[in-house]
Amino acid sequence: METIFALSSGSPPAGIAVVRVSGSNAALSLEQLAGRLPQPRRASRATLRSEAGELLDDGLVLWFPGPHTATGEDLAEFHLHGGRAVVTAVENALSGLPGLRRAEPGEFTRRAFANGRIDLAEAEGLADLLSAETELQRQAAIGMAGGLLSRRVEGWRDRVLGLSAQLEAVLDFEDEGDVGLLPATFGNAILMLADEISEGLSVPSAEILREGYRVALAGPPNAGKSTLFNALIESEAAITTPIAGTTRDVLVRPVALGGVPFSFVDMAGLRDASLDPVETIGIERAQIEIERADLVLWLGPEGEGPDDCWEIDAQCDREAHEAKSLPRYSVSAVTGENIGALKQGLIAQALAAMPKPGETALNRRQRLLLQEAVDALGPAAVEDDPLLRAELLRQCRLAFDRLIGRSSTEDVLDTLFGRFCIGK
């Protein structure tokens, strides 16, 4: 396998730049540029030179012999002065060495997965950790990257293996008379495991944490949606005018409130008919956003909003304003009245829908595979035919194997590792 290299720290200029090399020729890169192979796992100062003897930098080098490294391969690191010219010069020198090439996005982590240093669920957690922007996202991702879900799935898998072993013993030796029938509690043990996994499926989704709690502002034209939208995100992102139908397309802005990730959605005003075909398209898209939202703030006539919406009495500062009788909040985006209370209410609502610190959050792929396991265990608990029962338990194990990456398709791996940056 080719040896890869990439800048693994932030984009220059920076105080320090770290260039990482992974593969069988990692030692060669140190010998060629630093003139020697330093002691393993100890930072050592070195004068770096190109193959032609040109001075590249005066920095630190580290040598990590495999397989006990981040990637499971021989690994080298060059800690450089973080200027663009320095990084470019070192990368050019590395690219001129035999068997070395620049890494693709996520290739270091993909090699760690391929070499058994991490499993697929841990890699997904690492991807989320790298993209985390709030404390909640960081806490959930670091647990996943540390193997929180993987250990739980491995425990479930071990229990299924134990059940399968009992069943296989009966199938293999039933004619020899030295292995008894399955215990009376066998079916109950399967049901208990299925219930435990089903309980695990009740945790919040990772998507709501990654993408933010989605709040859509809905109502008729000129209800004050865009003004309130700007107040919530604290930016003049939406155009506001007294002209009905100003907002025609969907506008989404991610923002963190109190450390909680949100996605606020402004949209076209809802009305039965419009002579403007562009506005009509905007209204159709608004209806889609209402269905997609985790919560709808309804600024229209009281009682006409979608189910489970929050009735918002907007524009309460206007003299001719007709107040709602039972609003969740009465606010004015112009004066700021009760905007703070609305934000606190949204934070509390979002926190209730998101994973608690130390709690596992499941993405769609993980959730589907755990559901496959439950769907196999249910029939296995009551099936009389031992061969069919054994097959159902095998299907359950296969779902676990796909979740943690013992068996997985290339398209799943390509999608996941494509989320990583070049140096990771």
How does DSSP assign 87-147, residue by residue?
HHHHHHHHHTSTTEEEPPTTHHHHHHHHTTSS-HHHHHHHHHHHH--SHHHHHHHHHHHTT
Tell me if 202 is assigned to a ligand binding site.
no
- The DSSP 8-state label assigned to residue 40 in this structure reads B
Tell me if 223 is assigned to a ligand binding site.
yes
Residue 408 has pLDDT above 90, yes or no: no
Peptide bond into 105 cis (omega under 30): no
Q: DSSP string covering 242-297, please?
A: SSTT---S-EEEEEEETTEEEEEEE-PPP-S--S-HHHHHHHHHHHHHHHH-SEEE
When mean pLDDT is compared across 42-51, 125-134, 181-190, 279-288, the lowest value belongs to 279-288
Q: Count the alpha carbons within 13 Å of 98 in the hemisphere toward its beta carbon.
A: 2
* Per-residue pLDDT, 410: 63
When mean pLDDT is compared across 64-78, 164-178, 260-274, 329-343, the lowest value belongs to 164-178
**Cβ atoms of residues 379 and 353 within 8 Å:** no
pLDDT top residue among 227 and 171? 227
As a whole number, the mean pLDDT across the chain is 87
Q: Binning pLDDT at 50, 70 and 90, where does residue 369 land?
A: very high
- How distant is the alpha carbon of residue 41 from its chain centre? 31
Q: Binning pLDDT at 50, 70 and 90, where does residue 243 land?
A: very low
When mean pLDDT is compared across 36-40, 236-240, 312-316, the lowest value belongs to 236-240
Query: Residues 6 or more apart from 68 whose CB is under 8 A from it?
Result: none
77 by DSSP, 3-state: which? strand
Distance from C-alpha of 203 to C-alpha of 206, rounded to nearest angstrom: 9
Q: Binning pLDDT at 50, 70 and 90, where does residue 412 land?
A: low
* Per-residue pLDDT, 241: 44
Using alpha carbons, list the distances in angstroms from residue 98 to 46, 49, 73, 110, 227.
Answer: 22, 16, 17, 22, 60
Residue 16 has pLDDT above 70, yes or no: yes
Tell me if 84 is assigned to a ligand binding site.
no
Distance from C-alpha of 361 to C-alpha of 128, rounded to nearest angstrom: 11
Residue 382 has pLDDT above 80, yes or no: yes
> What does the buried/exposed string (b/e) look like for 383-419 if buried means 16 or more CB atoms within 10 Å of the residue's CB?
beeeeebbebbebbbbbbbbbbbeebeeeebeebbeb
Tell me if 59 is assigned to a ligand binding site.
no
* Per-residue pLDDT, 409: 56
Tell me if 23 is assigned to a ligand binding site.
no
- What angle (nearest 5°) sits at the alpha carbon of residue 116, between those of residues 114 and 121? 85
When mean pLDDT is compared across 32-46, 231-245, 284-298, the lowest value belongs to 231-245
Average of per-residue pLDDT across 398-416:
76
Percent of the chain with pLDDT over 90: 52
Residue 78 has pLDDT above 60, yes or no: yes
Residue 305 has pLDDT above 60, yes or no: yes
Tell me if 246 is assigned to a ligand binding site.
yes
Model-wide pTM > 0.75: no
Tell me if 20 is assigned to a ligand binding site.
yes
Residue 76 has pLDDT above 60, yes or no: yes
pLDDT digit string (tens) for 148-206? 899 999 999 999 999 988 888 777 665 554 445 788 899 999 999 999 999 989 888 88
Tell me if 117 is assigned to a ligand binding site.
yes
Percent of the chain with pLDDT over 70: 88
Q: Binning pLDDT at 50, 70 and 90, where does residue 222 land?
A: confident
Tell me if 243 is assigned to a ligand binding site.
yes
Query: Residues 6 or more apart from 5 whose CB is under 8 A from it?
Result: 19, 20, 21, 22, 29, 91, 94, 95, 100, 101, 102, 103
**Cβ atoms of residues 109 and 126 within 8 Å:** yes
Q: Dig out the tokens for 367 from the structure.
A: 């959730």
Region of residue 358 (left: phi > 0; alpha: psi -120 to 50; beta: else): left
Q: Dig out the tokens for 321 from the structure.
A: 């304003």
Residue 314 has pLDDT above 90, yes or no: no
Average of per-residue pLDDT across 74-88:
96
> What does the buried/exposed string (b/e) look like for 91-104 if buried means 16 or more CB atoms within 10 Å of the residue's CB?
bebbeebeebeebe
Tell me if 50 is assigned to a ligand binding site.
no
Using alpha carbons, list the distances in angstroms from residue 245 to 240, 266, 269, 306.
Answer: 10, 12, 6, 21
Average of per-residue pLDDT across 399-422:
73
| Locus of tokens 């003049």 | 236
* Per-residue pLDDT, 88: 96
Query: Residues 6 or more apart from 121 whose CB is under 8 A from it?
Result: 144, 147, 149, 150, 153, 366, 403, 404, 405
Tell me if 245 is assigned to a ligand binding site.
yes
